[in-house]
Amino acid sequence: MERGWVSTARSCPSPNCGPRPEGALVSLLVIHNISLPPGHYGGGWIEQFFTNRLDPAAHPYFTEIVDLKVSSHLLVTREGELVQFVNLDDRAWHAGASCFEGVTECNDFSIGIELEGTDTEPYTDAQYRTLGEVSRAIMAQYPAVTAGRIAGHCDIAPGRKTDPGPAFDWSRYRQIINSEA
């Protein structure tokens, strides 16, 4: 990892980011899921959405979200490809209204990773492998991110968000990040 960019990731810079507040310490990793349109994979729609290039005429659902300005630091596709949208040292717009251990505005101090998927469909072996690798790299680069400071979007925005959902195997993921590479 060099200056907030993951060397194994394909770069697709998003404008939906900004500097972290002065003195903000990266100390939380947030796991999300996304599929566009919902329940469909591939097609490049997520990249277009995070870079403000989504064509609202391409699918009826896109008219509902085309004006949203959101991003994530990283995306893990169904095939396990890692795509980076925002430098890890910067603030991506992934968490929205959120709170972790009494501290609000999680975007200020977190790194967001999207998994291409839904709450109810199992994630792929390739996704768990890539997510584990990049999580360990993040934990090495940002020591305040510990196994106890990894949360789902559902945990930091309860009642508003449900991802990564019941299909995400937290036990499997924790076993991966706690094992030696």
pLDDT tens digits, one per residue of 72-124: 999 999 999 999 999 999 999 999 999 999 999 999 999 999 999 999 999 99
User: What pLDDT, on the 0 to 100 scale, is given for residue 180?
Assistant: 62
Please state, in angstroms and as integers, the Cα–Cα distance from residue 25 to each residue in 11, 33, 52, following that order.
24, 24, 28
Give the CA angle between residues 45, 51, 55 to the nearest 5°: 50
Q: Which of 2, 47, 105, 114 is catalytic?
A: 114
pLDDT tens digits, one per residue of 5-36: 999 999 999 999 999 999 999 999 999 999 99
Residue 146 belongs to a domain? yes
Residue 9 belongs to a domain? no
In DSSP terms, 100 is beta-bridged to: 103
Q: What is the mean pLDDT of residues 40-66?
A: 97
User: What pLDDT, on the 0 to 100 scale, is given for residue 1?
Assistant: 64
What is the enclosing helix (H) or strand (E) of 14?
none
Residue 137 belongs to a domain? yes
Q: Over 60: is that where the pLDDT of 181 sits?
A: no
Q: Is 18 in contact with 24 (CB distance < 8 Å)?
A: no
Distance CA 48, CA 67 (A): 12
Host domain of residue 112: 23-178
The model's confidence at residue 3, banded by pLDDT at 50, 70 and 90, is: confident
Residue 73 is part of a domain; what is its CATH number?
A: 3.40.80.10
Active site residue 116: no
Higher-confidence residue: 60 or 181?
Answer: 60
Residue 1 belongs to a domain? no
pLDDT tens digits, one per residue of 138-161: 999 999 999 999 999 999 999 999
Distance CA 102, CA 18 (A): 23
Residue 46 belongs to a domain? yes
Residue 43 belongs to a domain? yes
Number of structural domains found in the chain:
1
pTM for this predicted structure: 0.96
pLDDT tens digits, one per residue of 161-180: 999 999 999 999 999 999 86
Q: Over 80: is that where the pLDDT of 135 sits?
A: yes
